[in-house]
Amino acid sequence: MLEFRVIEHNSKDYWDTVHLRELVLRQPLGMRFSSEELELENNSYHIAAYDENKKIVGAAMFVPLSSTKLKMRQVVIADDWQGRGIGKELIEFAETFARSKGYKIIEANVRQTAIGFYEKLNYQKQGKEFMEVGISHIKVEKNLN
């Protein structure tokens, strides 16, 4: 049974999400977080997924763009937990949380390889494909109403 929760910036749980994001998303691209980047995350919502042993297995960050719009960033599932539906559950938890805070729209720049996943969750493509951190991405958006 998984547990999903909103976590505080700069908490131990937050640093566990940073480690997971760096391991799965950044290191394969030869990238590392800077302290400046991480400090800017203090105004974001951080959501984490934990296994029955309280080990982090997934995370996502949501940056407020306005009083009604969030940008979803760095959705990540630990390699050995991928393909089990955790990403779907994590995003559904985040959407419920976003609605509870009055947000109406979530947008994200997603890797082209993940577009099918987001389309199954009713995210709509916006615009054309573009390059970000050397990888093909496309902007998606979902109305939470």
Confidence class of residue 143 from pLDDT cuts 50, 70 and 90? very high
Q: What is the pLDDT of residues 35-59, one digit of tens each?
A: 998 998 999 999 999 999 999 999 9
Rounded distance, CA 67 to CA 102, Å? 8
Domains, the chain, in order of start with CATH, read: 3-143 (3.40.630.30)
Give CA–CA dist 29/134, Å, rounded: 8
Q: What's the whole-number mean pLDDT along residues 112-139?
A: 93
Which pLDDT score, from 0 to 100, does residue 58 have?
Answer: 97
